[in-house]
Amino acid sequence: MPITNAMVLAAGLGTRLRPVTDTLPKPLVRIEGKPMIDYVLDLLAAAGVTQAVVNVHHFADQMEDHLSRREVPHILISDEREALMNSGGGLAKGLKLLEGGPVLVMNADLFWVAEEPGQPSNLQRLAACFDPERMDMALLCVRLQDTTGHNGKKDFSLSDDGRLTRYEEGMNNPVVYAGAIAMDSALLADAPDEAFNLNIYFDRAIARGRLFGLLLEGHWMTVGTPGAIAEAEAAICRFRPEG
């Protein structure tokens, strides 16, 4: 069954992308003429998501204006104008706008191209992989060689059975967190109301042996600095289907 609800974390300040983000929220920075958040929302829509919460803070009015023009998925706004809630607090607040149950979570500035035509997409595979009986979360992960714009940091080690642990030098099968999660919203039922980092829940899941990973198929990119814009555009052109 597809997961039809999602949340996109989009409220960050984008400080490393200045001066571009001095007048524009980071999710609206265009890559090959298309705002980053639209790459993300298009991936979600293609995977069967019909409703998505997006949190806003930096240039929130611009975000709301842009998102109001989308039809699929239907957008709900989680307003963080008064205070940024960090990744965990923002997610916990936004999930309250959705009915409880399975949900896909994505970062607004992380996306990928070059999925195999005619095959289940990465998000469809992630949704199918998620098993709440065994997992707190399933994270989409990517090998370093399949990234553009990344700083080289390895986040996790992916075991043969799919479990993730924090990467330490010398571990086998290092992977980068690709910014997409499948989870049940009930996982954050005990979350505090103030700002906190979602890494707290990653580490709790690791301690219980309930954090799992799935390898991304295709090419993943992140746009954190002005120079990374051209790198991402070059990667999109490189992997664009011929014809």
Give CA–CA dist 170/153, Å, rounded.
13
- Yes or no: say if 213 and 136 are a contact pair by the CB < 8 Å rule: no
> What is the tens place of the pLDDT at every residue in 149-170?
998 899 999 999 999 999 999 8
Phi-psi region of 8 (alpha: psi -120 to 50; beta: other; left: phi over 0): beta
- Residues in contact with 26: Cβ distance below 8 Å, sequence separation at least 6, in sequence order: 10, 12, 13, 14, 17, 20, 36, 58, 108, 109
- Yes or no: say if 214 and 120 are a contact pair by the CB < 8 Å rule: no
- pLDDT(136) > 70: yes
Higher pLDDT, 6 or 1: 6
Beta bridge partners of 215: 141
CATH 3.20.20.70 assigned to 5-239: no
> What is the tens place of the pLDDT at every residue in 38-75?
999 999 999 999 999 999 999 999 999 999 999 999 99
In the structure encoding, which two tokens stand for residue 179, read together? 């910014």
Measure the CA angle with vertex 6, ends 118 and 178; round to 5°: 65
DSSP H helices, 148-223, are 199-207
Give the pLDDT of residue 151. 87
- pLDDT(193) > 80: yes
User: Which of the four pLDDT bands, split at 50, 70 and 90, describes residue 240?
Assistant: confident
Report which of 168, 163, 167, 145 is spatially closest to residue 220, judged by C-alpha positions. 145
Helices 122-129 and 36-46, axial angle in degrees (round to 10): 60
